[in-house]
Amino acid sequence: MLMNMKDLLAVAYKHQFAVGSFNVANSEFVRVIIESAEEKNAPAIIQIHPNEVELLGDDFITYVRESCRNAKVPMVIHLDHGGSVEDVMRAIRNGFTSVMIDASHASFEDNIAISKEVVKLAHSVNVSVEAELGTIGSNEGSSEGGADVILYTDVDDAKTFVEQTGIDTLAIAIGTSHGQYKHDRQPELKLDLLAEINKNVDIPLVLHGGSDNKDEEISQTYLHGVSKINLSTDMKNAFFKEMRRFLIENDTAYEPDMIMPSARKAAQEVVKKKMDLFNSTNQAHHYFS
């Protein structure tokens, strides 16, 4: 079942769970996510970053839409970190049901202006909008990027930003970074700040950089308004680590149906564990009653 983000997250927000939003860069990942979601009876989001759209091509989204429509659980197709109105319009034309406009690097006023413009465009065709306030950190190797220094989201700014833009979900900066942390740079999430933002903002919150954090911290976030957790690195790492192992051990292998299954299984194990951690396992029934 294909939905927009506003409807998907309203249920998660009310029942205090977070829906995993997983980045895809090929059809293997689409299957990993949908099969995991169906096995876990969990709603899920397939998100695609502009870099990934470049890699895949526009026609690929038709396949993603068809797969989501046929899924037995609620699904959303979301543009991750749209950088411009052009990125957003391309996504809408391709059939995404949700878009992110990330103008978090711009001034507060410019961020409001561009997010507001995107809301007007996207809402006119029933597409949901996520915007970001504050900055997510960046670790080496992640194509999602981010900032060298994390600027934590300010509570009063968040309130003003949501009121003035009319966005459906807000991505907040509470200490996470994209990618995998170096051992000397472990994250510490500011859960007090999250609770304060949640008290002042009445829409679902989004946590970026969901990989490689402490499980004890992640499992607190959906109790304080986080209804969507973005996850890319942990899943992709598991997939390619297993593929690397397989190819080294089977160095003449060339048939995809020999090479892909074990990598897909490794990624699926990670995705299913995250669905348990986010408390989205067995929550699909809320959408059908």
**Hey, which residues are catalytic here?**
80
CA angle 32/144/65 to nearest 5° reads: 40
Check residue 236 for interaction with Zn ion (CB under 5 A).
Answer: no
Buried/exposed 17-27: b ≥16 CB within 10 Å, e otherwise: bbbbbbbbbee
**Shortest Å, Cβ 254 to Zn ion:** 34
Check residue 80 for interaction with ligand 13P (CB under 6 A).
Answer: yes
Residues 112-151 that bind ligand 13P (CB under 6 A): 142, 144
Check residue 65 for interaction with Zn ion (CB under 5 A).
Answer: no
Residue from 220, 159, 169 nearest 195 by CA: 220
Any residues with CB less than 8 A from the CB of 201 and at least 6 apart, and which? 158, 159, 162, 170, 225
Residue 142 binds: one of ligand 13P, Zn ion, none (C-beta under 5 to 8 A by kind): ligand 13P
Task: Give 3-state DSSP helix, strand, coil % of the chain, rounded to 5.
Answer: 50, 15, 35
Which segment (8-16, 111-119, 139-147, 264-272) binds Zn ion by CB under 5 A? 139-147
Q: Which is nearer to ligand 13P, 50 or 282 (CB)?
A: 50
Q: Which of 20, 43, 209, 225 binds ligand 13P (CB under 6 A)?
A: 209
Which segment (32-40, 203-211, 248-256, 276-284) binds ligand 13P by CB under 6 A? 203-211
**Shortest Å, Cβ 88 to Zn ion:** 16
CA angle 55/248/241 to nearest 5° reads: 50
Residue from 102, 70, 77 nearest 21 by CA: 77
Q: Are 61 and 30 in contact (CB under 8 A)?
A: no
Looking at beta carbons, which residue is closest to Zn ion? 208
Residue 40 binds: one of Zn ion, ligand 13P, none (C-beta under 5 to 8 A by kind): none
CA atoms of 276 and 289, how far apart (whole Å): 22
Which segment (65-73, 108-116, 205-213, 267-275) binds ligand 13P by CB under 6 A? 205-213
The footprint of ligand 13P (CB under 6 A) covers: 23, 80-81, 142, 144, 178-179, 208-211, 230-233
The footprint of Zn ion (CB under 5 A) covers: 144, 208, 230
